[in-house]
């Protein structure tokens, strides 16, 4: 994914969802918002469940010309006709994924809060990297504003900010990130499309 002029929205699916109604929810969000990419971010490692979820989400996404990637499963990405893979092990698998999927596939890398992991992933051929969480978790881990500021000044590889986004964090990071990765922040709401609008108000000011 190329770095946009202003931050774009990168949508993560819930870790668990019902195939009977999630595609309609996803379609409603895509119809209401300009989404750059969707990540199938399921908690399960069961390839059959991932495949069935990928099939329904791919149909919704590609009908609207939105790219869709899957967490970690490089082989499944190719087999299921997805647009690429998002790797959760920082830079470790980037070269292998790029070799397997080819130059046109999307290969992204989760890099936690590590500048070094981010740079390594970029050098290995990642199209983008992600930093997070943005709200501190139990062990105090958090990707702070300085990390995004440094990255925006020093590195050309696009960066995704994800994990515990709030309207205030989005307003703060908008000048120094390329994408906002949004998932559970909206899927627990009664109306996810409206929840996304409320969360990203700062991007429309």
pLDDT recorded at residue 3: 73
pLDDT recorded at residue 154: 97
Burial class (CB in 10 A: 0-12, 13-18, 19+), 65: exposed
Which tokens hold the place of 64?
């609207």
Task: Give the residue ranges of the chain where pLDDT is below 50.
Answer: none
CA distance 7 to 121: 21
Does the model's pTM come out above 0.75? yes
Nearest CA among 100, 105, 132, 104 for reference residue 117: 132
pLDDT recorded at residue 70: 98
| Domains of the chain, each with CATH number or no CATH | 8-204 (3.20.20.70)
pLDDT recorded at residue 137: 77
pLDDT recorded at residue 132: 97
- Checking DSSP bridges between strand 67-71 and strand 179-182, what pairing results, if any? unpaired
Residue 67 DSSP SS3: strand
What does the mean pLDDT of the chain come to? 96
CA distance 84 to 121: 15
pLDDT recorded at residue 5: 78
């Amino acid at each position: 994914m190329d770095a946009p002029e202003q931050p774009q929205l990168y949508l993560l699916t819930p870790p668990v969802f019902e195939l009977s109604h999630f595609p309609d929810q996803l379609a409603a969000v895509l119809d209401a918002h300009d989404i750059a990419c969707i990540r199938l971010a399921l908690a399960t490692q069961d390839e059959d469940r991932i495949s069935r979820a990928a099939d329904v989400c791919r149909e919704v996404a590609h009908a609207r010309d939105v790219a869709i990637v899957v967490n970690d499963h490089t082989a499944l990405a190719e087999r299921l006709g997805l647009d690429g893979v998002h790797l959760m092990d920082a830079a470790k698998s980037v070269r292998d994924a790029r070799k397997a999927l080819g130059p046109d596939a999307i290969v992204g890398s989760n890099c936690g809060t590590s500048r070094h992991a981010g740079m390594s992933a970029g050098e290995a051929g990642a199209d983008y990297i992600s930093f997070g969480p943005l709200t501190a978790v139990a062990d105090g881990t958090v990707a702070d504003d300085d990390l995004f500021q440094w990255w925006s000044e020093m590195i050309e590889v696009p960066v995704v900010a994800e994990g515990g986004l709030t309207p205030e964090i989005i307003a703060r990071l908008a000048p120094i990130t390329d994408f906002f990765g949004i998932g559970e922040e909206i899927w627990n709401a009664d109306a996810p499309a409206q929840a996304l609008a409320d969360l990203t108000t700062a991007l429309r000011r």
